[in-house]
Structures are given as structure tokens and as C-alpha cells.
Amino acid sequence: MIAAGTCLGFDVACDTLIKGGLSVVMAFVLFVGSVLLLLSAVFGRRMGYLVLASSFFGWLLLLSSLWAFGFWSQGTETPTNLGPRGIEPSWVVEAAGTRPETTNETFASYPDPTTWRAPGTNEADSGSVQSVQGAVQSYLAHQVNEEQGKEQFAPGAAQTTDFTVQGVRFATDGSASLAAAEAFYNGGGPVLTVYLRHDSGSVPVYSWAFMIFSAIGLAVHLPLLDRTERKRKHILTGGTAPPWYGPA
């Protein structure tokens, strides 16, 4: 499928990324900053920051672990990858044309039935037919609009429904899942052969990134918090508990 506009390597449009980033920064300053202000008033700036940072990274570690592993939070059949999702698995067009260059030797044998499976021979292939058709239609519509200099929803722009996809076949090359199909423009034109490869995506990447980041943050701040607490106790009591004279 065709990826949306990306920014800084993220599969997100730049304007959306900027708005979201500013919203996160403002929320962080408002909610985390107010807690830091209160803790600093009670413990002092250094101690207040360390208490807040250790609590924040500890909470974030638990939350990201819940995102990544589920931990039966929704019952015995709790799915994994509950948090922000990365790139979803999808079919990616490798080549297209009347005689496209084959990026894989298996593509050259299409539609040889000894190598390529017709849909219906197994459940996985049958469930992937619409995904392949949608990926091919999106690719062709995007190519046409790009050549004509039109936006996706501009008047007269090509739409996915303007193309018909047929002859979908599936094959495997080692661990790679491959697909091929024929497509043509409904208004007339040559029949194109399209080769696709299945990309497994990276759905859990953000959950793991949050978990690693929070684990590092917690590992850095906990020893500092312990050292500061020991120093604070020594300053306040001389390293020993104050004498107790009974109830006041």
C-alpha cells in the first residue's frame, strides 16, 4: 500500500506531527510541571525532581510493559501490542508494468501454477486477496495522480475504484510471502502485471521504545534518588534517628 506523507522517518504527516508534538509538550509542562512545583516546595528542587522522575519512569515502564505484553489486563485472551502501533503489516508493490522487471526470480514464473497458488487453496491466501487488490489499486491510483500532478481528492483525480485487479496469485520464497496480479484501468488501457511482497511491519516498535527508554530512565534516577535521600537524612538527623521522648 502507499504510505502517507512522512516526516522525520515517522509515518505521519509533518503538520500532524508538529501539532501532536506541541500538544504533548504543553500537557507535559502543565501536568508534570505542576507536580514538580509541589514536590520542590516540600523536598527541595533536586529531591523533588528525583522523586518525580523516578515515579514517572517507573509508571511509564509498567504502562509500556502492559502495552507490549498485555499481562491479562483484559482477561485470559488479552492481546499484545495494546499501545501506540507502528507500521502495520501490508502488501508492498515491488514492480508494475506491462513487462515489469523482476526483483525476485519467483516473479518471473508468474502465473505458473506449479509455483503460484490460486486463492482458495488455504485460508491465509483467501483472506489476503482483498488486501492485495487494495494495495494494487492504491498504487496505480497514486501513480496516475502523481504523473498528472493532482492530489488524491482533487477533482478528476484517479480513485482506487477506477482500476480492476484480477488473477491474484500467491507464492513463497524462503520466509518471504509474494503476490502477483494483473490490473487495468476501467476506462481502457493495457493490462499491467504487478508484483508485491508482504511487509510484516513493525507494530510493537513504539511500545518497546517506550519500555527501553523508561527502563534506562529509571535505572539512571533510582541510584541518584537513593544517594540524595541518604545525604538528606544525614543533614537532617546526623545519620541517626532523633531521640523519642514519648507522646507530646
Classify each residue of 26-52 as buried b or exposed e, where b means 16 or more C-beta atoms within 10 Å of its C-beta: eeeeeeeeeebeebbeebeeebbbbbb
Residues 178-222: tens digit of each pLDDT = 999 999 999 888 999 999 999 888 888 889 999 999 999 999 999
pLDDT at 234 over 70: no
Residue from 195, 181, 222, 199 nearest 94 by CA: 195
E strand intervals along 33-187? 90-97, 163-173, 176-185
Residues 6+ apart with CB under 8 A from 219: none
Higher pLDDT, 148 or 54: 54
- Residue 224: its H or E element: helix 205-237
Strand stretches in 98-238, DSSP E: 163-173, 176-185, 192-199
Q: Each residue of 105-156: pLDDT tens digit?
A: 888 888 888 888 888 777 777 778 899 999 999 999 999 998 888 888 888 8
Q: What is the pLDDT of residues 75-108, one digit of tens each?
A: 777 778 887 888 888 899 999 988 888 878 888 8
Please state the domain extents for the chain: 14-83+204-237, 90-199
Q: Could you give the C-alpha distances from 62 to 42, 75, 182, 208, in angstroms and in order?
A: 26, 18, 48, 12
Single-letter code of the amino acid located at 137: Q
Residues 6+ apart with CB under 8 A from 158: 140, 141, 144, 145, 148, 150
Q: Which residues contact 246 (CB under 8 A, 6 or more apart)?
A: none
Q: What's the CA gap between 54 and 220, in Å, rounded?
A: 9
122: cell is 488455504
